Amino acid sequence: MVKPKVTMTLVFEPKKIVVYAEGGEECAAFFHCILETPVRSVIEKLQKLDITGVQKARGINGELLKESGTYIIRNDLSVKPLTTSRIQAERKKFKIKDGEVLKEKAVTLGMDEARKLLKTFLDSKEGVLTSVFKDIINR
């Protein structure tokens, strides 16, 4: 059985921190699956995740995720529909000035990444995306 994989784009300050990530409905469903499902069921659900027919799901904050669109995934793994104001809020939170260039890198999420994200989410006090993708932002 081929394991499903989804893609998201990290937006980061090189050698510092992941500011946020962007992903489609498949990515939103991926994070919904690993964060709102009882831990013992996560792997089973990820193996069955149909990334071509994502069903409506409630995000971490209880907001209804749409079937299509782009989402912002914050360093704390909260998922919300992507808006300009949310991007500006994240830039302000990390004291990134207007015009300051951030790098982008597409990453693939699969079973291994789900395990790392979930473990880091449960264990880490720093940003989850920054911790898990540290090698990528340090290149």
pLDDT > 60? residue 128:
yes
Determine, yes or no, domain membership for 69.
yes
**Domain ranges, residue 50:** 6-132
Determine, yes or no, domain membership for 95.
yes
Determine, yes or no, domain membership for 24.
yes
Q: Tell me the three state secondary structure of residue 73.
A: strand
Number of domains in the chain: 1
- Rounded Cα–Cα distance for residues 47 and 104 (Å): 28
What phi, psi does 126 have (nearest 5°)? -95, 180
pTM for the whole structure: 0.72
User: Which token pair is 2?
Assistant: 């081929």
Determine, yes or no, domain membership for 112.
yes
Angle at 34 between CA 88 and CA 105, to 5 degrees: 45
The residue that leads in pLDDT, 79 or 2, is 79
- Rounded Cα–Cα distance for residues 23 and 19 (Å): 14
Determine, yes or no, domain membership for 139.
no
Determine, yes or no, domain membership for 58.
yes
